[in-house]
Amino acid sequence: MITEIAPAKINLYLHVGGLRDDGLHDLASLFVFTCNGDNISVTPSDVLSLSVGGAFAGGLNDLPPEKNLIWQAAALLQKEFSIARGAEILLEKNLPIAAGIGGGSADAAAAIRALIKLWNVEITDAALSRLAFKLGADVPACLKGAPVNVTGAGEETSPGPTLPPLWACIVNPHVDMPTGPVFRAFDAATPSPSPPLLEALCGDDYDAVAALMRDTRNDLEPMARVIAPEIGATLAFLGQQSGAIAARMSGSGATCFALFSTLDAAKRTQNYARNKGWWALASPLSIR
């Protein structure tokens, strides 16, 4: 059995540009990843199969396997490399669905990593990134599992900056947030957005991280807060927590996060959030 973690993706910032001819948006973002998340396990089999368990399996159990991005990733690898073998794939779904933390993309990326090992696939990083982009805009970055600068619509990635040890508490107020409506609201509110730009991290300490967060934004946050006012309450809660370096919404929401310099502060915030009835996870960030 081969097991890979599919960590939660966090956009430290997300600058969104205009709509491209391919229907995607230009963007500039710094992705970071928790050390905890969903788990993908693969074992040899003559046929391809997918089973789903875990706390959030219920949101996927009614989905036909072939509609799941994990299945599509496996089928794409089989097609591209003429692989006749199958695999028994198990997803332990620990992260909320439609939550802005790249769950489906991270699952697909983890499945790709695991199946490449299982099937002994030889592929360059560049070719793998191109293959991953066929599955979704976030999948190439989710292959990395470490800080990564993302431009284009997600197809252009480069190593992110060196960060100090960071912990995150990610919180979802039990709100599903499909990506499409948020981007459509952004398009309606911002018919001529400025070209999105990456922001440099000026240093490798906590002051530099705080400055980066002050100088950046999530362009989708205002629209998401209108659709789901619970996001505003979640951000206010996170911003008030002792030791919080910054608080922001990730992706298109509704999951929000706060950054901390200690695990104790992140765990304390996790416990407070759970006491409010929200889903929460405290985790170190994978900084390399």
9 catalytic per annotation: yes
Q: Are 273 and 237 in contact (CB under 8 A)?
A: yes
- Spatial CA neighbour of 257 closest among 226, 216, 228, 285: 285
Report the distance separating Cα 44 and Cα 39, nearest Å.
17
205 catalytic per annotation: no
Single-letter amino acid code for the residue at 117: K
Q: Which of 9, 26, 38, 144 is catalytic?
A: 9
The token pair at 46 is 């003559």
Single-letter amino acid code for the residue at 267: K
Q: Which of 107, 138, 144, 219 is catalytic?
A: 138
Which residues are tagged catalytic? 9, 138
